[in-house]
Amino acid sequence: RATIVRQIAVARVDERTARRCGHRALAVSFDRRTGRVLLELTNGCVFGFPAQTIPELARATASARAAVELSPGGGALQWEQLDVHLSIPGLLRAFV
């Protein structure tokens, strides 16, 4: 039990750090005009990337791309009908 309590405390600190650093998103949208997925990050930054750079999204229709959602904690993007899940930290590492 003590181990689990320590793990929970560490996980909470890690989550606060991830939010402060902008490794979580508050909002996501798909801009059909530019073809970009746009994120508002928890640190106030806005980040966007061309959807076509993700192979599964490159093959998808604009309507399917627009069906993007945030995971409950804001740590990932999800396109359920495409079965595509991308982590926010992974995207930031890939594009920045």
| pTM (predicted TM-score) | 0.80
Per-residue pLDDT tens over the stretch 41-76? 999 999 999 999 999 999 999 999 999 999 998 999
Residues 25, 31: Cα–Cα separation, whole Å = 16
Per-residue pLDDT tens over the stretch 10-36? 767 767 776 676 679 999 999 999 999
Q: Which two tokens stand for residue 14?
A: 């890690």
Residues 95, 86: Cα–Cα separation, whole Å = 13
Which of 49, 58, 50 is closest to 92 using CA atoms?
49
Alpha-carbon 40 to chain mean position: 10
